[in-house]
A and B are shown apart, each in its own frame.
Chain A
Amino acid sequence: MAADSIAVPLPRTESRSLLLDWLCTVDHKKIGMMYIVYALIFLVIMGCEAILMRIQLARPESTFLSADAFNRLFTMHGTTGIFFVAMPILIGFGNYFVPLMIGARDMAFPRLNAFSFWMTAFGGILLYASFFTGGSLLHGGDAPAVGWFAYAPLTSPAFSPGHGTDFWNLSLLLAGIGSIGAAVNFIATVLCMRCPGMTLGKMPLFAWMNLVTGGLILVAISPLTAAQLMLMADRFLGGHFFDPAAGGQPVMWMHFFWIFGHPEVYVLIIPSFAFISEVLPVFSRKAIFGYPAMVAATAGIGFVSLGVWAHHLFTVGMPSYGNAFFVLTTMVVAVPTGIKIFNWLATMWGGKIRFATPMLFCIGFLFQFLIGGLTGVMLATAPFDWQLNNSYFVVAHFHYIIVGGILFAIFAAFYYWFPKMTGRMLSEKLGKWHFWIFVLGFHLTFDFMHVPGLLGMPRRVYTYQAGRGWGVWNMISSIGVIFQAAAILIFVYNIVHSYFRGALAGNDPWDAWTLEWATTSPPAEYNFSSVPAVRSRRPLWDIKHPEDPDWKYE
């Protein structure tokens, strides 16, 4: 394998070196891998939590779980999914590939990079420590039970005794520090570490989108941290920030949380866009359509997404001007998003499309993200939201985005970049099984989940009466989970098996155009033996087609 040629600078004692290697590493590739593996473990954990909840909800008046345990499960499922699966996995891929794509040897601040990962890691561990404290494990220990957005006044000591809420609060504080570190690193790396010739306009869209994500994280995490410090003051120091009886304002928490929470959605979706924007062109054999428009749309989404948060508060009661403002801004987000979808379609249009597994997941992303976006526009309409807020319709909507969009993009990224990270291909055959079974399970679960929402089933109920017409739909949703779980098992098996036995990948298995494919798989510690210089957005195209390079036309 190509990696054998990496020179090891210092003699190491073999026995403990492996563990120490990973604990002490400042290599962006190793840190990226740690993020990804860590997130995968949590993906399986949150999946198990979902399975438990779906068993409980499959039939009416089920006693499989206690109400308490159910509350803890959906809180942990949501919190884990956003903070300890989606964010680390996306940051992990960014960590691994931003420096490679811009021709750098590492991130701008390698030590900060390691620190950021470990903060995120310990945040997740602290969160899960809550299961093993307090009450019996069967009822979820002392895990938080306040929902992933932890509305006040439920989080006050009076309504949330014990330390569950504190676990939630403190672990997210830790993870937040990690996210901010990662954001600073992305911004500095993209702005300052590009190889010669790579102007901002010649950066891969991947780098652009991670730059915007970094900016969004910086702006979004701070209000959450501020609110969490206030909550800590309330819970430990007798503060009254969110205590209405003492003149505090629970609604203030909502605003603080969603000023973080909505941009957070884009913190997750923009890196997913980044994956799609790299994979789609390669498997369509065409350059990305409308590069400048894509950059502008990304920046536009980033900007507008900071002004839409109160669409989560329509049912709280705002003045009509407030409602109108947040309806309009939310709908405006659909414009740059639409531009992107059309540009991706135009990229595929007339191309010589290869339906390899990464491409399949991209196409799944396009369809599902579109539908999730459309139900989003529906929910953005205040009167519609008055009817359906906090119903299963909302749950189905955001799972369409998070699973149907973000997770599909993540799968595409896995199949596309796994060969670069490990030197071995993931099995195409298993990949196709993974794709089709997951698509089936996804649609069984989440298409049919819209219906009980429309019929009035509120989210977060731990059970429901028979005879309300919700049973069938919930049963179908639960059956879908079986397929999703099976697909994930295939995926995990594929990863483990291919890591040891997969076909050798070579440097450039997909015949791609960005710089990460111009080095060995996996890349040496120093990424490139000599720093590359580029002249266009597709440097490898220029080398492969010297008679017709891109740089003549960009």
Chain B
Amino acid sequence: MTSHSQSAPRGSVHDQVNLPSPTGWPVLLAVGLALIAGGVISSGYVTFLGALIAVAACVGWFRDVLPQERHVPVIVVPQEIVIVSSRRKVARMAPRGLARARLPLEIYPISAGIKGGLAGGVAMALLAMFYGVVSHRSIWYPINLLGAVVYAHVQVTAPEMEAFHIELLLVATALHITTCVLVGLLYGTLLPMLPRRPVLLGGLFAPLVWTGLLHSILSIVDPVLNQHIDWLWFLASQIAFGLVAGVVVVRQVRVPTWQYPFSVRAGVESPGMMGDGDSRD
């Protein structure tokens, strides 16, 4: 519904439009209702008077709109309205002959992010297990630690943390894969946006910031977990993830960004959309 029910038919004679006629009934109705309210505080007579006014105003209002809404014709004075900009110059990026572009011009397909995330995840897991062997003589230690973040069934004693627990392995694996894929997807989206040295930024800088953040808040959020984390190794595994995921993503083939909105690609035709015989390739 985009037309005007209350104005003159569009496109016809422009010298006159019908506007709703001014009326005093709405303000009188408001007066009536206000008096009803005021009477509650002061006196029943005021309420009674307010009610009378309100009823009268309602009747008057109805007669204004029923059976036919009352209008006043207003003469339209046609005016030449010139719409120009004082700023004719438009700065543009104009890459590859496009007047405007959706940036970045090329992106990685979604699969790139998933591949990168999984590859990074493998590298990270291997490094973490290596850490487990070196420091606790058990590859299960880091897995138990991760699993215990959400599934705290195991007592926090050294032997327990180094033993094998099937539930913790399952929980940790699910957590690890989900997180890696999600972060991988983030990498796939972000890396084309980073202007230079995407692997350096994504592989070193981001893990550093992220680890720093986590390091600063984990002592508050989960002090027990915090005691069990070797932050140097943690940082190392984050960087391993970042580098591997970054390299894998960057080696994928990029695809050009769709330059037309979805509605256009889907061939939706409706008023206001592209249209008017404008040819596009």
B272 contacts A551, CB within 8 Å?
yes
Option from A2, A114, A191, A519 in Cβ contact (under 8 Å) with B27: A114
Known: A111-B20, A529-B76. A544 touches B83 (CB 8 A): yes
A174 contacts B73, CB within 8 Å?
no
User: What is the chain B residue whose CB lies nearest that of A123?
Assistant: B34
B79 CB within 8 Å of chain A? yes
A479 CB within 8 Å of chain B? no
Bound-state CA distance A526–B20 (Å) is 10
Find residues 150-204 in chain A having any chain B CB closer than 8 Å to their own CB.
163, 166-167, 170-171, 173-174, 177-178, 191-199, 202
Known: A525-B74, A526-B76. A197 touches B20 (CB 8 A): no
Find residues 165-192 in chain B having any chain A CB closer than 8 Å to their own CB.
none
B213 CB within 8 Å of chain A? no
Majority secondary structure of chain B interface residues (helix, strand, loop or mixed)? loop
B72 contacts A10, CB within 8 Å?
yes
* Segment of B86-94, B116-124, B230-238 engaged in the interface with chain A: B86-94
Q: What 1/0 mask marks residues of chain B from 75 to 110 whose CB sits below 8 Å from any chain A CB?
A: 111110101111100110000000110000000000
A529 contacts B78, CB within 8 Å?
yes
* Segment of A23-31, A216-224, A258-266, A437-445 engaged in the interface with chain B: A23-31
B206 CB within 8 Å of chain A? no
* Segment of B36-44, B130-138, B221-229, B242-250 engaged in the interface with chain A: B36-44
A141 → chain B closest CB, angstroms: 13
Residues of B within 8 Å of A548, CB to CB, are 90, 99-100
A202 contacts B40, CB within 8 Å?
no
Find residues 115-143 in chain A having any chain B CB closer than 8 Å to their own CB.
115, 118-119, 121-123, 125-126, 129, 133
Find residues 511-548 in chain A having any chain B CB closer than 8 Å to their own CB.
511, 517-520, 524-526, 529-531, 534-536, 540, 543-545, 548
Known: A126-B38, A174-B37, A529-B79. A285 touches B26 (CB 8 A): no
Find residues 219-276 in chain B having any chain A CB closer than 8 Å to their own CB.
260-261, 270-275
A105 CB within 8 Å of chain B? yes
A545 contacts B85, CB within 8 Å?
yes
Bound-state CA distance A517–B84 (Å) is 11
A316 CB within 8 Å of chain B? no
Option from A2, A167, A232 in Cβ contact (under 8 Å) with B79: A2
A552 contacts B72, CB within 8 Å?
no
Residues of B within 8 Å of A519, CB to CB, are 81
A61 CB within 8 Å of chain B? no
B24 contacts A23, CB within 8 Å?
yes
Residues of B within 8 Å of A540, CB to CB, are 83
Residues of A within 8 Å of B157, CB to CB, are none
Residues of A within 8 Å of B19, CB to CB, are 27, 105-106, 525-526
Interface residues on A, range: 35 or more
B278 contacts A236, CB within 8 Å?
no
Known: A105-B7, A114-B26, A551-B272. A198 touches B33 (CB 8 A): no
B20 contacts A26, CB within 8 Å?
yes
Option from B1, B79, B86, B87 in Cβ contact (under 8 Å) with A520: B79
A9 CB within 8 Å of chain B? yes
Residues of B within 8 Å of A27, CB to CB, are 19, 22
Option from B22, B25, B100, B272 in Cβ contact (under 8 Å) with A535: B272
B155 CB within 8 Å of chain A? no
User: What is the chain B residue whose CB lies nearest that of A287?
Assistant: B100
A5 CB within 8 Å of chain B? yes
Option from B3, B61, B84, B272 in Cβ contact (under 8 Å) with A199: B272
A500 CB within 8 Å of chain B? no
Most buried by A among B1, B6, B78: B6
Residues of B within 8 Å of A543, CB to CB, are 83
Bound-state CA distance A352–B86 (Å) is 14
B90 contacts A170, CB within 8 Å?
no
B128 CB within 8 Å of chain A? no
B272 contacts A122, CB within 8 Å?
no
Residues of A within 8 Å of B280, CB to CB, are 552
Residues of A within 8 Å of B91, CB to CB, are 352
User: What is the chain A residue whose CB lies nearest that of B25?
Assistant: A111
Option from A9, A529, A535 in Cβ contact (under 8 Å) with B77: A529
User: What is the chain B residue whose CB lies nearest that of A2?
Assistant: B79
B197 → chain A closest CB, angstroms: 22
B29 CB within 8 Å of chain A? yes
A14 CB within 8 Å of chain B? no
Q: What 1/0 mask marks residues of chain B from 46 to 88 whose CB sits below 8 Å from any chain A CB?
A: 0000000000000001001100000011111111010111110
B89 → chain A closest CB, angstroms: 10
Residues of B within 8 Å of A114, CB to CB, are 23, 26-27
User: What is the chain A residue whose CB lies nearest that of B34?
Assistant: A122
22 residue pairs bridging A and B, Cβ less than 8 Å apart: A9-B74, A10-B72, A20-B24, A25-B22, A26-B22, A110-B20, A111-B26, A115-B26, A115-B27, A122-B31, A125-B34, A170-B41, A196-B271, A285-B87, A507-B81, A508-B83, A518-B81, A529-B76, A530-B11, A531-B4, A551-B275, A553-B100
List the 4 shortest-distance A-B pairs measured between CB atoms, nearest first.
Answer: A118-B30, A115-B26, A122-B34, A7-B75
